[in-house]
Amino acid sequence: MKKLLSGIFAIIIVCMALAAGSARLAKSQGATGGNVLNFANWGDYIDPALIKKFEKETGYHVNQETFDSNEAMYTKIKQGGTHYDLTVPSEYMVEKMANDHLLVPLDKSKLTGMNNFGKDFMNQPFDPGNKYSIPYFWGTLGIIYNDKYIKPGAIQHWDDLWSKKYRGQIMLIDSARDIMGMSLVSLGKSMNTTDTPTLAAAKAKLDTLSPNVKAVVADEIKMYMGNNEAPLAVDWSGEAADMMYENSHLHYIVPTEGSNLWFDNFVIPKTAEHYKAIYAFLNFMSNPKNAAQNTDYVGYSTPNNAARKLLPKSTREDKSFYPTESTMKRLEVYKDLAPTVVGKYNDYFLEFKMFRH
């Protein structure tokens, strides 16, 4: 009987140890109880002061984990093992996650401030009726130029980049959809085309740009442009804002013939657990004052029109970051294309990069 009791006692101890280990594991992944918000976000994509303010006002603790691509975030949520309450996918990924049943519909009755968002940023094709998403930031793809080397007004259109006078002077963002998309627009085609001959034509035109390309990189563009080491770059508007803050000789334009209009959005993944914290945070971030503060910190454009009114006049009327209505109508939001089509974009872009060498 003693041996039996000893065996039972040993089993209980092992179970308790396993439970404690599981609790520690859950805590390491962000699940620490009811008064938390587990937030998966892009790196440096929210003002830390706002996190502290939210925690102080509400009593919730924010556990923030960062990711560097939509695909990385998607994979973690799909595979399970995470406890994310909120995350911030781009438009095409919202569509993909919804189609794959990875999102929880928003309870609109618990949301305040939804009327603050502009009509251009709501009811988009990737999420009709905003069933799953609330716009967080938006931006464009465009051209940055340095007025020490290039006269203002000399660059207006994508085709200007193909001029022989810019040989070896252009930095390109390392992004297949964006650079193939730039070439497609220059041909008068959609950035969402699925037609193989059209994609081949865009790639062929891109190859003719190769002599003008100094490098195809990512974050390094900021260093090159900030240090006046390159006159031209193709990059996203928020990155351009960072560069312009560091170097007053830099300017950003969105070609009027068209470009990409992208959205990053708050969504509730199926892993969510802390719904009171979720809606408290969404309402906090929709507050115009908080959204304006966040916009000033991050540098991207806000979809919150009430927040935009609180920004300095020079910012809210800057057509580089808040384009005219006519330009907005020519911008395209990326669609969630079939994997085979995405593969073609990636393959052509890889061939272009290899062709350069």
HEC-encoded secondary structure of the chain: CHHHHHHHHHHHHHHHHHHHHHHHHHHHCCCCCCCEEEEEEECCCCCHHHHHHHHHHHCCEEEEEEECCHHHHHHHHHHCCCCCCEECCEHHHHHHHHHCCCEECCCHHHCCCHHHECHHHCCCCCCHHHCCEEEEEEEEEEEEEECCCCCCCCCCCHHHHHCHHHCCCEEEECCHHHHHHHHHHHCCCCCCCCCHHHHHHHHHHHHHHHHHEEEEECCHHHHHHHCCCCCEEEEEHHHHHHHHHHCCCEEEECCCCCEEEEEEEEEEECCCCCHHHHHHHHHHHHCHHHHHHHHHHHCCECCEHHHHCCCCHHHHCCCCCCCCHHHHCCEECCCCCCHHHHHHHHHHHHHHHHHCC
Q: How far apart are the C-alpha atoms of 281 and 106, rounded to whole Å? A: 13
The Cα–Cα gap between 257 and 273 comes to 45
10: tokens are 């040993």
Rounded mean pLDDT of the chain?
90
pLDDT value of position 10: 46
Look at residue 33 in the predicted model and tell me its pLDDT.
58
- From residue 86, alpha-carbon distances to 35, 58, 168 in Å are 14, 17, 43
Q: Set out the domains of the chain in order of their start, with CATH numbers.
A: 32-138+263-316 (3.40.190.10), 140-261+323-355 (3.40.190.10)
- Looking at residue 137, its pLDDT comes to 97
Quick one: residue 13, left, alpha or beta (phi over 0 = left, psi -120 to 50 = alpha)?
alpha
Supply angle C-alpha 248, 254, 255, rounded to 5.
130
* Contact status, residue 74 vs residue 89, Cβ threshold 8 Å: yes
* Closest to 265 measured CA to CA, from 79, 127, 66: 127
Radius of gyration of the CA atoms of the chain, in A: 24
Phi, psi of 87 (to 5 degrees): -150, 175
Q: What's the pLDDT band for 357 if we cut at 50, 70, 90?
A: low
pLDDT of residue 15: 44
pLDDT of residue 5: 36
pLDDT band at 2 (very low <50, low <70, confident <90, very high): very low
Stretch 100-106: mean pLDDT: 97
> Does pLDDT of 84 surpass 50?
yes
Q: What is the pLDDT of residues 308-325, one digit of tens each?
A: 999 999 999 998 899 888
Residue 159's pLDDT band, with cuts at 50, 70 and 90, is very high
Q: Point out the least confidently predicted range of 27-41, 193-207, 222-236.
A: 27-41
| pLDDT at 11 > cutoff 80 | no
Residues 349 and 234 sit within 8 Å (Cβ to Cβ): no
Give how far Cα 341 sits from Cα of 46, 145, 194, 284, 337, Å: 33, 32, 6, 39, 6
* pLDDT for 196 beyond 70: yes
In the chain, % of residues over pLDDT 90: 79
